[in-house]
Structure 1
């Protein structure tokens, strides 16, 4: 089968999986914080990863699917190929996750020359949590907004998606309190984003705020933001809770 025909067939099967769902293999949802390394499982893998192909799609950034791995070999023509690797279990490993990496990943198993698909598609949805600030340098008396955004796929109304999947996105301080009278928290229905607005006091130096994502009351991932006064860089720390697994499956 020619390369063009092979890619066309991949695209048709990929589109079919988006419209009808994956047959025989559960979809997996992975939550990760930006800057972390992620491991995307391939739940239809064979013993020999030479049959494995990984396809990526984000319909808001790409008009067509992008082939990351073709029959066990990495595609070196894509921008992020240096951050990709194939695990011994045919999983897809991505280093230093960015907000551009969120989207749908499909693991497929193909014969080499015949072009026959050996097993049903295995889908993985990657959701990326990212924190940013309205100011790069901050000091007492300054009004600062911290933004926490969950980049998710498929991109439907955030309210609908959060409600149906029982997702919660919120800010807590270092004592675990969600808010107090001095802090104002607002959210957006168009995007999965929650902002924390505060006027800084002297005692806010080195104060930590943590944005968390939970699914069915279990923490999936979180990002800690440490307030530093002018002259010191503000620090961010991504945290994956060790007692929770950042993967959920749709039945």
Structure 2
């Protein structure tokens, strides 16, 4: 048995040497548990996959064939597939899939190292802290970091880097990093992201949601939008038990129905989804407050506490305005508004057309007068059109004056055009 293991090691080493690959020369690919991935067979000029074998490294240098002569032969064949270009497809990844694979045509081979990015929470002896660990893993456990250019960084769910005194980072190696958080009640159901890059190129990212005992989940929603408040762990409901939602200590049971009347004067209706989440279809500023989801059987077992924050803006000074709500660098909500520019409305766009019409009418009037009296008409034509031009200039001056005095009523501009009409007529 030892002889065959040694022979397997020698064969794998010879195969790698034939391809001119060392351990650091493998193509390294990263994935998450449960993902699907395609491992490329980089052998050039493959005529047929029937000549291709895929080998998987085992403990102590042993090798297992997962594809033999173009056919999947691995025990987990339902999760494996050989594609037309001879690449190996693996679905629903488990940790045991994270190994070194070799595509072999008999004369040439290419190797792919598959590594799994994991994110776990470690119980900490210190009270008031949360420790998250992000690392690369294989079926043998944590990988010694032989990959070049690997970097792990932490961020919020929207990729904003974590800043602040309550965040502490420890990097044991390029493939292993810790995030230590000074815990707050509002860290309940909050997501943290670990991102892996290689040579400044994004490779993989994984998120983790922390749970804090007796914590409060913060939810941010923009006014006018829909929001869903989750009621977690309802699987522990007793026989005949049901969920009850309260806001600011007041029960919402009577208000949860398909045709719901507003609660406390609020404009948006509530309704409860199949998973017991509370949905507010149109959020208003009055919906902000403390919500609680609990079992309504007298024991009052609390499933979740949520603090809902609403976002709105009352004044606008530009054509488009976007308001953001931040928490420790995390953009937790945003809302965009479009202002109404009256100079761009159809009524105001019609004013230049009306002006041109008035000028044309004035020109026609002058032309008719010229037909009655040519000599006087010539002089009159010059006078009338001069008045029109001067009044246009006056109107422009008036408009510039309005721009310098924005508080002035819009009717002033309308009057100036009315005066122009009187001069033309």
What is the TM-score of this pair, normalised by structure 1? 0.68
What stretches of structure 2 of length at least 5 have no aligned partner?
214-230, 234-425
Q: How does 1:222-241 map to 2 (within 5 A)?
A: 222-229=205-212, 232=232
Distance 1:143 1:21 in 2: 51
Distance 1:156 1:211 in 2: 17
Q: Which residue does 1:241 correspond to in 2?
A: none
What stretches of structure 1 of length at least 5 have no aligned partner?
1-6, 110-116, 136-140, 234-251
Q: Which residue does 2:192 correspond to in 1?
A: 209
Q: How does 1:1-251 map to 2 (within 5 A)?
A: 12-18=10-16, 20=17, 22-23=19-20, 27-44=26-43, 46-58=46-58, 61-76=59-74, 78=75, 80-109=76-105, 117=106, 119-134=107-122, 142-151=128-137, 157-158=144-145, 161-162=146-147, 165-174=148-157, 176-189=160-173, 192-229=175-212, 232=232
- Residues 64-122 of structure 1 show CA distances to partners (whole Å, capped at 9, x for unaligned) of 0111111112224x3x333211112111111122222222110011xxxxxxx2x3111
**Higher Cα radius of gyration:** 2
- Residues 40-86 of structure 1 show CA distances to partners (whole Å, capped at 9, x for unaligned) of 0011162321111000115xx3540111111112224x3x3332111
Contact 1:23 1:121 in 2 (8 A): no
Q: Which residue does 1:237 correspond to in 2?
A: none
Distance 1:156 1:193 in 2: 9
Question: Shift of residue 12 of structure 1?
Answer: 4.0
Distance 1:53 1:43 in 2: 13
Question: Alignment partner of 1:212: what SS?
Answer: strand
Q: Which residue does 2:220 correspond to in 1?
A: none
Question: Shift of residue 27 of structure 1?
Answer: 4.1
Question: Alignment partner of 2:108: what SS?
Answer: strand
Q: Which has the higher contact order (CA 8 A, sep 6+)?
A: 1
Question: Shift of residue 157 of structure 1?
Answer: 4.6
Give 1 or 2: higher helix fraction: 2
Kindly tell me: are residues 220 and 67 of structure 1, through their superposed partners in 2, closer, same or farther at Cα, counting changes over 3 Å?
same
Q: What count of residue pairs does the alignment treat as equivalent?
A: 203
Kindly tell me: are residues 74 and 10 of structure 1, through their superposed partners in 2, closer, same or farther at Cα, counting changes over 3 Å?
farther
Give 1 or 2: higher strand fraction: 1
Kindly tell me: are residues 178 and 17 of structure 1, through their superposed partners in 2, closer, same or farther at Cα, counting changes over 3 Å?
farther
